[in-house]
Amino acid sequence: MQQQRKIEVCLTPALLPLYNIENSIVIVIDIFRATSSICYGIDNGAEAIIPVATVEECIALKDDICLLAAERDGKVVEGFDFGNSPFSYTTEKVKGKTIVLTTTNGTHAIDESKKTAYQVIIGSFLNVDAVCDYLKTQDKDVFLLCAGWKNKFNLEDTLFAGAVVSRLKDGNYFQDDSSTAAEDLYQLAKHDLGAYTAKTSHSERLKLLGIEEDIKFCLQENITQTIPVLKGNKLVKMVF
Amino acid sequence: MQQQRKIEVCLTPALLPLYNIENSIVIVIDIFRATSSICYGIDNGAEAIIPVATVEECIALKDDICLLAAERDGKVVEGFDFGNSPFSYTTEKVKGKTIVLTTTNGTHAIDESKKTAYQVIIGSFLNVDAVCDYLKTQDKDVFLLCAGWKNKFNLEDTLFAGAVVSRLKDGNYFQDDSSTAAEDLYQLAKHDLGAYTAKTSHSERLKLLGIEEDIKFCLQENITQTIPVLKGNKLVKMVF
């Protein structure tokens, strides 16, 4: 008999050591803005995005074909080409390029999960249906890893996790409590994600940085079918 | 100018090191069943309840005036007087007694928070209004510490945190994202807490243990005005 698959939502990377993810496809989630920008950049023809944990590693990987992207506390780190605003990841800027990227939360989550996961892919509202369609075809557990904010819980990543749970609902998965909570919050918020996320602490922070347009952009559903997948240390476009 | 007070919800004890709780009243929450039983036991005249982290410490503190209570994985540990079912904490059984208690989740949360918190009190649906009335009178931050299940998120503790947040709403507190999520989940669940918590993983586990009556008992609101507070290493009745 086939074992029942499970869906788990890990609300922050700090809780990752509590889980066994060897048989899981990990979906890394950092809605504002790392994983949204990664989806957009790969869709716009970036050859690869190399996520690294620290600014130092980012600099160490610099060569002539690379763009360097570094964000800390919502801002582009001084001396870098850009940070993690999706508007930096247009076709014009990234086509054919390799980007080395470090961000406050998202790249840390990728780094931690790749050590033991069966596979690591990148999710955002921009590619939510493509991600779910892919997961449905795989006989694997689903592990939704919210990047959070400095290891604390955040609402926007949890809402996206809930969006995935609600779409996989009919697949007879075992759900843990955090996926039930995430799904219920998504059901509350889905008719106006913008209004709902406006009450998050992070949204307040981003507003202070003057990047409301980024937020609006990151809450669009299904503007791409591309799924970035981790191959070695590079995020590349998944080929079906 | 008085600084704005804040409400934070810590979704599991594993996240506690991320917070500064020196100016916070910590409300420890383990709805099924440790903190519900503690509230009931202190209300029924137990002189003190001494929470300890391990079964060994529990045994070490044994003397003639003590009752020993130990629960692991939902069951009474062999050789102990009782575990953490509220029905073991009736007046007949506990009046005038000191109880040394260790549980899977709740006592660990108390142990961790007491190191730095301004004050540690015990919350459950049984005394929710009393807890909130007390918090309103104190010029302190509010820190709702969910015991969770083996350091993972659980729904019932989060719902109680949301019940407190919703009652303190008008107090002009700063809320973090987890308190917003907890409050919204409570609003969804409050009209039938029993039906909502029936979908939690923990409730499934408790059902297998045949303790549905305990669950029903723990979801009653305001059957006591007593607030257990930590004095030294003992939980005693708060005196106003």
ipTM of this complex prediction, to 2 decimal places = 0.94
Would the CB atoms of A177 and B14 count as touching at under 8 Å?
no
Average pLDDT along chain B: 92
Q: What is the mean pLDDT of each run of 10 residues along chain A (240 residues)?
A: 84 97 97 96 97 89 83 87 91 95 89 94 98 96 96 96 95 92 97 89 72 91 98 95
Angle in degrees, 0-180, between the axes of helices B177-189 and A155-168, rounded to the nearest 10: 40
- Closest Cα in chain B, distance from residue A94 (Å): 34
The predicted structure's pLDDT at residue B2: 58
What tokens appear for B189 in the block? 């669940």
Asked if residue B81 has pLDDT above 90, the reply is: no
- Give pLDDT tens digits for B125-141: 999 999 999 999 999 99
Nearest alpha-carbon partner for A201 in B26, B171, B180: B180
| Beta carbons of B195 and A218 less than 8 angstroms apart | no
Query: Quick one: average pLDDT of B42-56?
Result: 94
- Give pLDDT tens digits for A36-50: 999 999 999 999 999
d(CA A94, CA A99): 8
* Residue written as token pair 């800390």: A72
- Give pLDDT tens digits for A24-82: 999 999 999 999 999 999 999 999 999 998 889 888 888 767 899 998 888 889 988 88
Query: Quick one: average pLDDT of B47-56?
Result: 92
Tell me which chain A residues have a C-beta less than 8 angstroms from the C-beta of B185. 181, 184-185
Would the CB atoms of A181 and B153 count as touching at under 8 Å?
yes
- Closest Cα in chain B, distance from residue A18 (Å): 8
Chain A positions touching chain B (beta carbons under 8 Å): 11-12, 14-15, 18, 149-155, 158, 175-178, 180-181, 184-185, 188, 199-202
Q: SS in 3 state form for A170-227? A: HHCCEECHHHHHHHHHHHHHHHHHHHHHCCCHHHHHHHHCCCHHHHHHHCCCCCCCCC
The predicted structure's pLDDT at residue B59: 87
Q: Which residues contact A207 (CB under 8 A, 6 or more apart)?
A: none
* Out of A152, A184, A199, closest to residue B185 by CB: A184
- Closest Cα in chain B, distance from residue A176 (Å): 6
Tell me which chain B residues have a C-beta less than 8 angstroms from the C-beta of A183. none
The predicted structure's pLDDT at residue A173: 92
CATH fold, domain B6-230, is: putative 2-phosphosulfolactate phosphatase (3.90.1560)
The predicted structure's pLDDT at residue B207: 74
Would the CB atoms of A11 and B11 count as touching at under 8 Å?
yes
* Out of A153, A185, A199, closest to residue B11 by CB: A153
CATH number, domain A6-232, options 3.90.226.10, 3.40.50.460, 3.90.1560.10, 3.90.1010.10: 3.90.1560.10
The predicted structure's pLDDT at residue B234: 96
